[in-house]
Structure 1
Amino acid sequence: MPRRLPLYVERNYVKGKTYLSFRKGKGPRIRLPDDPSSVAFTEAYNAALTGQPAAPANGVTRAAPGSIAALVASYRKSSEYLSLRATSKQQYEHRIETIREDHGHRSVAGLNRERIVVGILQPFADRPGSALDTLKKLRILIRHAINIGWLKHDPSIGIKRPKIGKIRSWTDDEVAQFKARWPLGTKQRTAFHLFLNLGQRRSDVVRMAQTHITADQRIRIKQQKTGADLLVPLHRDTIAALAAFDMQHIVIITTEYGKPFTVDGFSGWMRDAITEAGLPMDAKPHGLRKAAGRMLAEAGATAKQIMAVLGHATLAEAQRYCDEADQAGLAQDAVTLLEGHKANRSTQTAPVSLGKRSNKRGES
């Protein structure tokens, strides 16, 4: 019978071998020495339990040469990783560390299509967003492996990207419903106009400050994702919302304690405001950026004009809004023509009034 292990210690079975690791809840998995009766095991266990770093015991914490863990360590030292913006690096790090924790023992050379699909992506079958992000980050690591000569080709070629639902634009009715719940002067209504009338992402709205607003009622925006510098005129509704809101801090939207929001905290706060307005779960904050693009296109703005407001990196992204608006307008015109065509097919004088039926439809 296997020896009973201390709290949070688990056995991992990989390729016929047994390894011991420490893992508390959903925290990181920490490799431990193989002999639970050894002094090295006790020291490593106590260090993991108290959250203190421990010296490597018998080399077990060192990434094996050619392993995914070693590849992650190499990528973290690369110029590609080091040149990432801080926010991008934070997003990369979360997923890459998960890959290292769960699959660091695997050989890079042993990666193939089946092992990636079954071993790495299958656990996220019920979370397509996580599966897609894992595949994206794994491909970054694979590209690095090719660059440093660990792989000759990309084993992920042919793997289809998991399908995830696209964030939709808010409808005009949903916009009106949110306004009805949150009147001018509320923090929620002010944030709503910064989203809708400026068409920016949450990472940009959360950092908007009074000092970014110019004397001629424009706002300077340096987009967090793209690094683009924008100067966007304030819509009259946004000006009215800012005038009605009691701004007591430099940053426009702050927590109840007057501190700037984190991006995730701001998202959660907006989610609560949307839910309280009675809107469905798929009415997301980012959907207001989509609504801004839609409304600009419906107002007749060109793709370049939409691009100037939303800050898209390519013209094709902005062109989609114009194409959707054109499709809706053309469809409406087509149905109007069809209705008029059917109306013109009826006779001007009813045949029964003359006592006989007309020989042809559409003739009087």
Structure 2
Amino acid sequence: MTDKYPGLSSYTDRHGKVRWRYRTKERDVSLPAPNQPGFKDAYQAAVEGRKVPKAPVVQMPGAALPGTFGAAFQRLKISVKWLALDEASKRKNTRLIEEFLELRVVTDHPLVWRNVPVKNLRRIHVEELLGRFIATPHKAKHLLVGIRKLVYVALRQDWIEIDPTAAVEWRPAYAGWKAWSREAMAQFEKRWQLGTAARTCYGLALWLGNRRADVAGLRWDQRVTRRVFIDGVERHFDGFDIVQAKNKGRTGGKRLFVPITPMLSEILDAADRRGETVLVNGYGDPFSAKSLTGMMAHWCKLAGLPKGLTLHGLRKSLGVYLAEAEASTRQLMDVLGHDDIDHAELYSREASQVRLAVQGMDRVVRLVTRKPMLGEPIGEPRGEPPYKA
């Protein structure tokens, strides 16, 4: 072996292991054994007096050190709660969490949060992270939700004992989606006649208060008649039996019966009935839920309406109608399918404020001037019609 590789020799170290080296008067270089990969390259480099470059360390996709945020995300993705999410929610959460994992802990150092042990996270770190997104406060709020999911995994695995995000509050101001004005509705209806997909989509969102997934998936066979007792009198109502798509994979979705109003009835009578779904495209096929956002923007543009009027804004418009009609918060929740009062009141806060302010100032006018109430009535009075014998 030494004849083939001049300068090569072996020796036994203090642990009894045979070692190989290239040895001359000028240098003494350790080498791998002749039967090991890379021996020839290392020997040639030793003869020439140059260093053998070390192989780069490549991190495999999805690799994570134990106890780190990267490991927490791996465990999160196999948890029951994660598997119960719908695909859209999984994609959204994955995108936000991956963005967090790739953020640098310190801007001028390569260490990213993926490789940081969860036990090293402190409240000040979370607040500094959220501060980076001060220009986009709602994104910061969703990022905090993603971090808390990882922290929850760490608590379940006993990697930590205390949640460092528990005292962190991040509640950006939220006014909700922009409701459509009466003028915008009239302009849209003038452009899109009954029977068009645009008008049908508009009517379902406005008069059922549906989200886009429920608008896209609403079927004709969901139209039913229900018996309802009101003030001791049995009445029959035509409506749709809807299971909301939101949280359907996790909780089964909320089931609602929403009655069909005369405004919606004329839209349904003129609708294209070639498919199973109420809303179909020019080929008689259903729209995808995701496509309706862009389609509504396109229809609004063709109607000459400004940007910012959305499909979800029609849902809010129904909430405003309910508020202006003095429907109770509970009635509003049962029409729109909300579970919490705070969320439901986002749809009616502005209308309630206007009405209550006018009613309050009207009392002042009556007290001070003894004159009739402010404003002039328009159209028929609201409320129960007078009893006629």
**Normalization by structure 2: what TM-score?**
0.66
How far 1:285 moved relative to its partner?
1.8
Partner of 1:88: 89
Q: Secondary structure at the match of 1:197?
A: helix
The answer as to whether partners of 1:212 and 1:219 remain within 8 angstroms in 2 is yes
Q: Secondary structure at the match of 1:218?
A: strand
Partner of 2:71: 70
Counterpart AA for 1:185: G
Correspondence for 1:179 among 172, 189, 198:
189
Partner of 2:229: none
2:185 matched to 1:188? no
Partner of 2:45: none
How far 1:184 moved relative to its partner?
1.6
Of residues 72-81 and 335-344 in structure 1, the stretch that sits farther from structure 2 once superposed is: 335-344
State the identity as a percent: 31
Q: Secondary structure at the match of 1:104?
A: helix
Question: Tell me, which stretches of 5 or more residues in structure 1 are unaligned?
Answer: 1-34, 42-56, 346-364
Which has the larger Rg? 2
**CA separation of 1:220 and 1:84: change in aligned 2, threshold 3 A:** same
Matches of 2:150 and 2:273, distance apart in 1: 45
Task: Spell out, residue by residue over 1:210-263, the C-alpha distance to the aligned partner (whole angstroms, 9 max, x if none).
Answer: 222236631121011251111211111111112122232212223445443332
Aligned residues: 294
Correspondence for 1:147 among 152, 156, 159:
156
Partner of 1:290: 316
Q: Secondary structure at the match of 2:208?
A: coil
Matches of 1:306 and 1:286, distance apart in 2: 16
Partner of 1:278: 304
Partner of 1:242: 268
Partner of 2:280: 254
How far 1:194 moved relative to its partner?
0.4
The answer as to whether partners of 2:329 and 2:344 remain within 8 angstroms in 1 is yes
Partner of 1:224: 245
Counterpart AA for 1:96: I
Task: Spell out, residue by residue over 1:72-114, the C-alpha distance to the aligned partner (whole angstroms, 9 max, x if none).
Answer: 0011122222333444334333323333444322332222233
The answer as to whether partners of 1:302 and 1:322 remain within 8 angstroms in 2 is no
Partner of 1:18: none
Task: Spell out, residue by residue over 1:3-23, the C-alpha distance to the aligned partner (whole angstroms, 9 max, x if none).
Answer: xxxxxxxxxxxxxxxxxxxxx
The answer as to whether partners of 2:141 and 2:172 remain within 8 angstroms in 1 is yes
Counterpart AA for 1:181: R
Counterpart AA for 2:335: V
**CA separation of 1:145 and 1:281: change in aligned 2, threshold 3 A:** farther
**CA separation of 1:124 and 1:320: change in aligned 2, threshold 3 A:** closer
Matches of 1:67 and 1:161, distance apart in 2: 27
Q: Secondary structure at the match of 2:120?
A: coil
How far 1:123 moved relative to its partner?
4.8
**CA separation of 1:280 and 1:107: change in aligned 2, threshold 3 A:** farther
The answer as to whether partners of 1:72 and 1:100 remain within 8 angstroms in 2 is no
Partner of 1:21: none
Matches of 2:289 and 2:143, distance apart in 1: 21
Question: Structure 1 segments of 4 or more deviating over 6 A?
Answer: none
Q: Secondary structure at the match of 2:140?
A: helix
Matches of 2:70 and 2:127, distance apart in 1: 19
The answer as to whether partners of 2:176 and 2:347 remain within 8 angstroms in 1 is no
2:338 matched to 1:312? yes
Aligned-residue CA RMSD in angstroms? 3.1
Counterpart AA for 1:69: G
Partner of 1:201: 211
How far 1:174 moved relative to its partner?
2.4
Partner of 1:137: 146
Counterpart AA for 1:201: R
